[in-house]
A and B are shown apart, each in its own frame.
Chain A
């Protein structure tokens, strides 16, 4: 007896409202990531102080 092939589950598509919600979430995530970049940059400047420019070229 041959085995049945696994049943294919097709996910239902997102509605336009769902897509809009996901898009807003992605924008918020991008803003947070951008904020983190600035955060680490500023903290690094403060932690290192003027010595950040004092490095061998």
Chain B
């Protein structure tokens, strides 16, 4: 925080935040994941949409996701200031005022839902509105500070975008996007708890009941393995249902095995730098894993790279 800001902040309620600070409020990395997963939902949906309208819908979904991230940062500014990972965010660092973030988040929320309704259809717009509500209110305001299952249930918010994507194309939900939902939903706990194990001191200081702080590190490690064992087979389903091809089958099986292997490493290595390294490895690879699965589905379906297996399911 600059000295100029500190001396003036009481008398004048206007911040000097730059465009990049407001962009940071949208959680750009989460937004990029939402773009990839929503695009996958659109491309694997049975049907088609005009490319310009598809792009416009994707933009609205991305902005809606960003808006929910902004509302999350507005509500969580008090605890963000206490944690090393989040203390440099625009609100706790004083670059953006809470009232500005609230106005920005609400404006983008309403705007993105209206635009999606106009560009695509009412169902996808309603779904986007529900996703924003789920992340900003159900997860941020209620679950996060109340239960160690916060990121398990809250993970649904991050898993909705493929369903919104399918709704943009078909005006309905189908099995394809439900499977994509399940993959992201089951991926969230191993991904987040790997981070929570390393940052449990941060979460304890902020009073957030993350799983390692409530159930203990060992119980968390066991659950990471369980969720990975559940997630990896579910991630193969697109190949068995006919909307993922041979490349997807190979990638999902091999990377799924790596995810299980890294989870087991987290389970076995419980002390010292080796334990921390195992957690960071799982956390880092989990991001690559999800991006890779969805990128392969997009490539196969959009660029004619689909050498499909005989359809087993769906």
A53 at the interface (CB under 8 A from B): no
Contact B11 A9 (CB under 8 A): yes
A46 contacts which of B16, B18, B53 (Cβ < 8 Å)? B53
B312 at the interface (CB under 8 A from A): no
- Asked if B56 and A21 sit within 8 Å, CB to CB, the answer is no
Q: Which residues B36-83 have CB closer than 8 A to chain A?
A: 50, 52-53, 56, 59
B233 at interface by CB-CB < 8 Å? no
Where chain A touches its partner, the secondary structure class is: helix
Q: Is B4 an interface residue (CB 8 A)?
A: yes
Contact present for A25 and B18 (CB under 8 Å) = yes
Given the known interface contacts A42-B52, A43-B53, A46-B53, the answer about A28 and B12 at a Cβ–Cβ threshold of 8 Å is: no
Closest Cβ of chain B: how far from A11's Cβ, in Å?
A: 4
Interface membership of B119, Cβ < 8 A = yes
For this complex, into which size category does the number of interface residues on chain A fall? Answer: 10 to 19
B56-A39 in contact (CB<8A): yes
Would you give the shortest CB distance from A21 to chain B, in whole angstroms? Answer: 5
| Other-chain residue from B4, B52, B118, B119 in contact with A18 (beta carbon distance below 8 A) | B4
Cα(A12)–Cα(B119), bound, Å: 45
CB <8 Å contact, A46 and B52: yes
Contact indicator A12/B53 (Cβ below 8 Å): no
* B216 CB-CB contact with A under 8 Å: no
Residues of chain A in range 13-34 having any CB-CB distance to chain B below 8 Å:
14-15, 17-18, 21-22, 24-25, 28-29
Contact of A28 among B8, B19, B119 (CB under 8 A): B19
Enumerate 26 A-B pairs (CB-CB under 8 Å) in ascending A order. A10-B11, A11-B8, A12-B7, A12-B8, A12-B11, A12-B12, A14-B16, A18-B4, A18-B16, A21-B17, A21-B18, A24-B18, A24-B19, A25-B18, A25-B19, A25-B22, A28-B19, A39-B56, A42-B52, A42-B56, A43-B53, A43-B56, A43-B118, A43-B119, A46-B50, A47-B119
**Nearest 4 pairs of A and B residues by beta carbon:** A28-B19, A11-B12, A12-B8, A18-B16
User: Besides the contacts A14-B16, A25-B19, what 5 more A-B pairs have beta carbons closer than 8 Å?
Assistant: A12-B11, A18-B4, A39-B56, A43-B56, A43-B118
